[in-house]
């Protein structure tokens, strides 16, 4: 029988072996064990089979039900499973729960000291204008001002681009911008550090968030559609978080958010607000344009 | 350790006296069985949502088609299918046909991402269940590659290729002999699948956190390359599943049942169909 063969093979191995004992031990640790044979009464075996088939069958039914409840309504409609919207009450709760877990993981992974990789000028790639055809009319640029609210002074500050360029040091970096859609681009940016703005105009002491807004943003049909986004101050203080004024050595064009955009490479592209018009510091997490549309809140990458 | 100790593990206590029992072989640990079946809905969720995520920015693109502006070969495939498959001539959006059939659908990125994270965390937990189950049962040893596997796997491959011919011509067709839990081809496949699972998880994290885990992204050749890895790992799962299901069904009820109940009545593995 095969069991005996193995046994004698092992014996033969032992006699001819020149390996050290530890090596042989290691070999036997990784060696497949002979099968375990049991002798079971037929009626007991039948009972086991029935029990396991029922348990696993119930599991399969539960999986189909959970899948049906979690899949998007449009998908189920297309498949002909349902004909009208029927929302499972806990579905949003469960999906949101995991979105929050994933955000918590992202926040735990974040370190204020960890710098993102930088690239050389030869690695720069084209950067697309993701305004998707609804680029704002550049007429807003001459009169543009940045308003900063929620300051410790209790005042609100209004700055134009010359104020910003003359009172802050510009920093350059060649970093990758990663979009939630999956594409990415390496670009050469220059701008002031968000951290420097925070030091020059300190926020109220209990502030943990910034709401970054672009009032000139347009919707997909060219309709006014202000863009607003939440940014935690820990990320705002990251040394590579810039309020960018230049791209590839030139002042920003309207396509890329002239005259001032947020560049936060540790976040998804959707947090990199173009043409910022207002920054408001707050203690509570502000609303977020894309979180309201089903995307995550933290978006740390 | 001798053979008799293993035969000594035959559980006699389960047997009422004066009754002949059925000899069964332990095959799969309970946790391994659960993780095996949980992979079905989890992988389905991951693939459906993953292809929807892929839709938002395909890694494979060509110059825009002058007629319809398509850049994505999946869109071209949909157009081709709707033009050539009878009954689909009036399909409303041919370029979405593929996405309408192997994903949640186009234009559902937010929903697809949320489902993908849910399934991805479940997939990692399920991987842990598998690791614990195979450590407890020692079953992982049956999956390890052997020196003779390449030769034996080739033999098994030609055996499987020849089975339908032998069946049709009523000729005897002997199964290559083996005395391990799995034949070399099975072993290769069952070893590769957990490895592919691990690589999927690693490439997934490398795409998900390319800044905080930049070293992981760099191992796979950078952000753009790691998306290609992740995409083809999905196909590796699909390519495994098709012959896996066919061969299990061809092998018979005992093999399928053993993944549910954990035991098999076949003590000797090498026998012909």
**So where are chain A's domains?**
43-88, 115-293
Cβ of B56 and A181 within 8 Å?
A: yes
- Residue-number span of the structural domain to which B185 is assigned: 138-273
B258 found inside a domain: yes
B12 found inside a domain: no
Structural domain ending residue among the three candidates B64, B87, B107: B107
The tokens for A71 are 């899949």
Structural domain ending residue among the three candidates B84, B107, B130: B107
B73 found inside a domain: yes
Tens-place pLDDT, residues A147-183: 999 999 999 999 999 999 999 999 999 999 999 999 9
pLDDT for the residue numbered A296: 92
Pairwise CA distance, residues A99 & A281, whole Å = 24
Say if residue B197 is in the same domain as residue B103.
no
Tens-place pLDDT, residues A273-290: 999 999 999 999 999 999
Closest residue on chain A to B178 (Cα): A2
pLDDT at A231 over 80: yes
Q: Which is higher by pLDDT, B202 or A13?
A: B202
The tokens for A276 are 């910022």
Say if residue B156 is in the same domain as residue B94.
no
Say if residue B100 is in the same domain as residue B148.
no
pLDDT for the residue numbered A202: 97
Number of domains in chain B: 2
Work out the pLDDT band at B7, boundaries 50, 70, 90. Answer: very low
pLDDT at A206 over 60: yes
The share of chain B scoring above pLDDT 90, in percent, equals 64
Cβ of A94 and B115 within 8 Å?
A: no
pLDDT for the residue numbered A69: 84
The answer to whether the CB of B255 falls within 8 A of the CB of B248 is yes
Q: How far is CA B24 from CA A198, A211, A225, B267, in A?
A: 72, 66, 69, 7
Contacts of B51 in chain A (CB under 8 A): none
Say if residue B157 is in the same domain as residue B98.
no
Average pLDDT of chain B is 88
Pairwise CA distance, residues A35 & A16, whole Å = 26
Tens-place pLDDT, residues B230-264: 999 999 999 999 999 998 998 889 999 999 999 99
The answer to whether the CB of A178 falls within 8 A of the CB of B210 is yes
The answer to whether the CB of A152 falls within 8 A of the CB of A207 is no
Say if residue B156 is in the same domain as residue B232.
yes
Say if residue B167 is in the same domain as residue B230.
yes
List the single residue in B56, B105, B212 with the smallest CB-CB distance to A75.
B105
Pairwise CA distance, residues A237 & A112, whole Å = 8
Say if residue B98 is in the same domain as residue B143.
no
B161 found inside a domain: yes
B241 found inside a domain: yes
- Distance to chain A for B142, nearest Cα, Å: 5
pLDDT at B1 over 80: no
pLDDT at B179 over 80: yes
pLDDT at B14 over 80: no
Terminal-residue alpha carbon distance, chain B: 34
B216 found inside a domain: yes
> Which residues, at least 6 apart from B24, have a Cβ–Cβ distance to it below 8 Å?
A37, A38, A39, A40, A45, B263, B264, B265
Number of Cβ within 10 Å of residue A277's Cβ equals 19
Cβ of A72 and B48 within 8 Å?
A: no
B123 found inside a domain: no
Q: How far is CA A258 from CA A50, A97, A255, A270, A279, in A?
A: 70, 37, 7, 16, 16
Say if residue B144 is in the same domain as residue B266.
yes
Cβ of B10 and A39 within 8 Å?
A: yes
Q: What is the mean pLDDT of residues A57-66?
A: 92
Q: What is the mean pLDDT of residues B119-143?
A: 95
Structural domain ending residue among the three candidates B62, B89, B107: B107
Residue of A1, A14, A37 best to disrupt the B interface, most CBs of B under 10 A: A37
What's the pTM value of the predicted model, to 2 decimals?
0.88
Pairwise CA distance, residues B25 & B125, whole Å = 28
pLDDT for the residue numbered B65: 85
Say if residue B270 is in the same domain as residue B212.
yes
- Superfamily (CATH) of domain A115-293: Oxidoreductase, molybdopterin-binding domain (3.90.420.10)
């Amino acid at each position: 029988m095969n069991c005996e063969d193995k046994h004698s093979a092992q014996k033969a191995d032992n006699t001819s072996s020149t390996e050290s004992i530890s090596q042989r031990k290691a070999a036997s640790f990784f060696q497949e064990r002979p099968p375990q044979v049991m002798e079971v009464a037929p009626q007991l075996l039948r009972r086991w089979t029935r029990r396991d088939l029922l348990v696993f069958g119930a599991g399969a039914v539960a999986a189909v039900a959970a899948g049906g409840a979690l899949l998007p309504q449009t998908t189920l409609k297309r498949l002909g499973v349902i004909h009208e919207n029927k929302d499972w009450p806990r579905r949003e709760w469960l999906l949101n729960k995991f979105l929050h877990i994933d955000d918590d993981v992202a926040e735990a992974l974040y370190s204020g000291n960890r710098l993102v990789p930088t690239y050389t000028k030869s690695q720069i790639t084209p950067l697309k204008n993701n305004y998707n055809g609804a680029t704002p009319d550049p007429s807003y640029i001459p009169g543009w001002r940045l308003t900063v609210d929620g300051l410790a002074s209790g005042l609100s500050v209004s700055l134009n681009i010359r104020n910003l360029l003359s009172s802050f040091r510009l920093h350059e970096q060649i970093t990758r911008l990663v979009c939630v859609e999956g594409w990415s681009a390496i670009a050469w940016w220059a701008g002031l550090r968000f951290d420097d703005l925070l030091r020059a105009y300190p926020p109220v002491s209990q502030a943990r968030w910034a709401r970054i807004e672009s009032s000139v943003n347009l919707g997909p049909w060219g309709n006014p559609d202000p863009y607003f986004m939440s940014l935690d101050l820990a990320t705002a203080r990251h040394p590579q978080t810039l309020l960018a004024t230049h791209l590839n050595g030139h002042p920003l064009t309207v396509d890329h958010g002239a005259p001032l955009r947020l560049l936060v490479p540790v976040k998804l592209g959707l947090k990199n607000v173009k043409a910022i018009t207002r920054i408001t510091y707050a203690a509570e997490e502000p609303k977020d344009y894309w979180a309201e549309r089903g995307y995550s809140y933290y978006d740390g990458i | 350790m001798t053979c008799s100790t293993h035969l000594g593990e035959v559980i006699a206590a389960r047997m009422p006296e004066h009754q002949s029992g059925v000899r069964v072989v332990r095959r799969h640990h309970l946790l391994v069985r659960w993780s095996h079946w949980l992979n079905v809905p989890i992988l389905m969720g991951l693939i459906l949502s993953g292809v929807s995520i892929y839709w938002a920015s395909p890694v494979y693109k060509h110059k825009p088609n002058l007629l319809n502006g398509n850049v994505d070969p999946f869109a071209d495939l949909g157009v081709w299918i709707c033009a050539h498959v009878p009954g689909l001539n009036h399909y409303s959006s041919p370029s979405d046909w593929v996405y309408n059939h192997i994903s949640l659908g186009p234009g559902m990125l937010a929903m697809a991402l949320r489902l993908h994270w849910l399934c991805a965390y479940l997939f990692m937990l399920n991987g842990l269940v598998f690791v614990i189950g195979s450590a407890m049962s020692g079953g992982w040893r049956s999956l390890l590659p052997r020196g003779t596997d390449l030769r034996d796997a080739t033999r098994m491959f030609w055996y499987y290729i020849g089975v339908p011919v032998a069946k049709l011509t009523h000729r005897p067709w002997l199964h290559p002999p083996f005395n391990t839990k799995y034949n070399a081809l099975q072993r290769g496949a069952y070893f590769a699948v957990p490895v592919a699972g691990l690589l999927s998880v690693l490439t997934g994290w490398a795409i998900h956190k390319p800044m905080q885990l930049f070293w992981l992204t760099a191992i796979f050749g950078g952000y753009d390359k790691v998306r290609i890895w992740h995409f083809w790992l999905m196909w590796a799962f699909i390519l495994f599943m098709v012959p896996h299901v066919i061969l299990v069904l061809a092998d018979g009820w005992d093999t399928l049942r053993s993944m549910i109940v954990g035991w098999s009545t076949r003590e000797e593995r090498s026998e012909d169909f």
